[in-house]
Amino acid sequence: MSNRIKVKAEDVNFFYAKTQALKDINLDILEKQVTAIIGPSGCGKSTFIRLLNRMDELVPNTSLTGKIFLDGEDILESKIDVVDIRKQVGMVFQKPNPFPKTIFENISYGIKVNGIRDKEFICQKVEESLKKAALWNEVRDRLCDSALKLSGGQQQRLCIARSLAVETQVILFDEPCASLDPISTAKIEELILELKKEYTIVIVTHNMQQAARVSDHTAFFLMGELIEVGKTQDIFTKPKDPRTEAYITGRFG
């Protein structure tokens, strides 16, 4: 297991207009490990991970101070190519959002946008990405069908495959199982454990059991502050901060 820091947030403050959503966040995310971010609704979890691929810039009237490093480079600097950052740091949302295109086109779209036209390479990449997302065996004979015909769980795995197709290094999961049934949830969790062999993963979840099952490290956010971070086992069995213990044991949140 790598102890190399892949993503580093340093003194990060974020504002929606005059409302401060994040306060002095300092957090290291280790390479090829799963970091879970937990905390009650409105505590800044989703806001934080959206900063990691600069999706915050899509929201008007916001401001950000501090630094966010990817492989030692500050992604907030003006010279940084935002498109390139979003290629390296993929996002999987709470609700599956496949394009209204075929299964094949959903995966190949990002590859073609990057200027690749070699049909053999594209086909190979589509198959490889679907295999990594544990979806290939279910869709190999229906690549020309609309992605919208897939079940919710399959659509979510398709969105993961779409992210993998463009040389992603970090995958951000924002409540990826919130709209899925228990069987689909189990498949996504198995997939996360498999993907961490190659990718760095950050998952926002309200599900304490899920955080305990899939993550190596857990960060607890409360009212825009990072209260505590540590190895998941330590956070769940011997938290240092009484607020962490109160949340984990269900006394609030």
**In the chain, which ranges are E strands?**
5-16, 19-30, 34-38, 62-70, 73-74, 89-92, 170-174, 200-204, 217-222, 225-231
Burial class of residue 3 (count of CB atoms within 10 Å of its CB; 0-12, 13-18, 19+): exposed
Q: Rounded CA gap, 235 and 218, in Å?
A: 7
- pTM, full prediction: 0.94
Q: Rounded CA gap, 165 and 78, in Å?
A: 27
The pLDDT tens digits for 12-60 are 999 999 999 999 999 999 999 999 999 999 999 999 999 999 998 888 9
∠ CA(229), CA(231), CA(237), 5° rounding?
95
pLDDT at 251: 81
Asked whether 200 and 29 are in contact (CB, 8 A), the reply is yes
Q: Which residue has the tokens 């955080």?
A: 211
Residue 7: count of CB within 10 angstroms of its CB: 24
Q: Rounded CA gap, 206 and 39, in Å?
A: 7
Distances (CA, A) of 81 to 32, 89, 144: 24, 12, 33
The pLDDT tens digits for 119-142 are 999 999 999 999 999 999 999 999
In the beta sheet, which residues pair with residue 67? 10
pLDDT at 211: 97
pLDDT at residue 114 greater than cutoff 90: no
Minimal CA–CA distance to 107: which of 95, 94, 93, 121? Answer: 121
Asked whether 203 and 176 are in contact (CB, 8 A), the reply is yes
Task: Kindly state the average pLDDT of the residues 176-185.
Answer: 94
Sign, CA torsion 174/178/179/184:
positive
The pLDDT tens digits for 212-237 are 999 999 999 999 999 999 999 999 99
The domain 5-248 having CATH identifier 3.30.360.10: the answer here is no
pLDDT at 107: 96
Q: Rounded CA gap, 66 and 26, in Å?
A: 9
For the chain, the domains span 5-248
